[in-house]
Structures are given as structure tokens and as C-alpha cells.
Amino acid sequence: MNPQTIKVACSNCNLRELCMPMGLSENDINRLDDLVATRRKIKRGTTLFTNGEKFTSLYAIRTGFFKTCLATEDGRDQVTGFQMAGEIIGLDGIVNDHHTCDAVALEDAEVCVMPFDRIEELSREVTALQSHVHKIMSREIVREHGVMLLLGSMRAEERLAAFLLNLVQRLHARGFSQSELVLRMTREEIGSYLGLKLETVSRTFSKFVEEGIVEVKQRHVRILSTEALQRLVNHQAACH
């Protein structure tokens, strides 16, 4: 693949500031462009990588939406996270050179493949890239830690409120609306992620609708009162 075509892609990509370090010289950007080996299209419902697979690359999501999940001992799927355009996926493989979860596309998606040995090589020479990779990793750790806290002690309404706020905030950073979102995942997947039964998720959504906090039309959610959602989450934080 001609690096020139990729260069144009990286430099003109509207997710560039989410994906790449800020303040790079043109020379550094050119070298980063060489780093993106290829793009891969992933069909809805198929996996980008699976648990136990050898880790070789990180993936920057260009378009689409993913979930990461693990099969539990009783054969169920435990959802461990949702990832969207502009986020990096595959960090789970760094620790012991194998992926520790499955990444499944929730809609047709496209990712930029970034071979990890090339990232490490370039990181040694481009300090901005090195600190950027560290920042991405620590952001993931912080996010996961936040989720653990969230799930540890929250009631169903608090969990769902925190989930919706987090999702809309991440989408807003990508230029989407601050109050409207289309859920790419099913109620069941939300429940699996939040540690709630499917009927609890549905009941909680209905409660939010009754209280005038959100409007729900199938997968389309409109947040009518961000403040009400924040109050639910902050009330929880205040209890600690």
C-alpha cells in the first residue's frame, strides 16, 4: 500500500486530534503515517480479534462501534466495554502478548491497523508519540477503574445514568449532539456491561421516561435533563 495514500488519510482524518498527539512536526506526522500499515473493514457481528489471539497491533477505530467481551465459565458473554470512532482498541494485549477479550463490531466498522513493534520503535524517536501512547493507556485504566467503582456500589438508576452521561460525553467530543444518541448496543449488552438484568435495564429506561429525564424511541435516546442524570450520579458520589 502506498504510504502517500495513508498520509492523506491520516492528515485529513477528522479524528486526527483524538488519535494522534498534538503539536507534531510535519516530519513526525509523515513518519506516523508510515506507521499505519493498513485499514481493515470489519462487518457487523464479526470479530476484530479474539481472546487468546496473539497481540501484534493496536487499532484506531475510524468508523463504527465495538464491544469487548469475555465468555464466562457458564458460557455467557460478559461485556467489558464499548469503543467508538476515535478510540484505540487492543491495549489489552500489551501485557502478555495475547488478547484477553473478544472485540466484536456492533455495526460495520473500519479500523487503522498500527503494528505495535513499529509504535514502540517510533516512540523511542518521537517523544510526543511515546507520551501520547502512555496517555491513551492511562486513560483506559482510569476509565475502567471508574467503571469498577460505578458498578461496585450503585443502584440501577445510578448505573444507567452514569452510562448514558459517559456515552454522550464521548460522542460529544467527536462532534455529535450533547443530548441525542443512537444506542449501537442492545439493552441486553448494556445490562451485561452494567451488571444488571435485561428487565432491570428496560424498567430503568421506562422510569427515566416517566420522570421526563429521557425520551426513548427504540435505540434513539434523547436526554431531556442532563442535570437529573448528573444529580443521580453525584448523589452516589456524595454517599462515599
| pLDDT the model gives residue 148 | 67
| pLDDT the model gives residue 230 | 92
Looking at the chain, list the stretches that DSSP marks H as alpha helix, in order from N- to C-terminal side.
3-12, 16-19, 26-35, 116-125, 127-153, 156-172, 187-194, 198-210, 226-238
pTM to 2 decimal places: 0.83
Instruction: Using alpha carbons, select from 20, 56, 62 the residue that is nearest to residue 40.
Output: 62
| pLDDT the model gives residue 239 | 58
| pLDDT the model gives residue 76 | 80
Q: Which three cell numbers stand for residue 137?
A: 493507556
Give bridge partners of residue 180 from the DSSP assignment. 222
| pLDDT the model gives residue 208 | 97
The pLDDT tens digits for 126-139 are 777 777 777 777 77
| pLDDT the model gives residue 124 | 82
d(CA 191, CA 163): 11
The pLDDT tens digits for 156-183 are 999 999 999 989 988 888 888 888 999 9
Q: What is the mean pLDDT of each run of 10 residues along the chain (240 residues)?
A: 46 64 69 74 96 93 93 83 90 90 96 87 79 76 67 84 91 85 94 94 97 94 95 71
Secondary structure letter of residue 53 according to DSSP? P
Give bridge partners of residue 162 from the DSSP assignment. none
Strand order of the β-sheet with 57-63 is 38-42, 109-115, 57-63, 88-89
| pLDDT the model gives residue 14 | 63
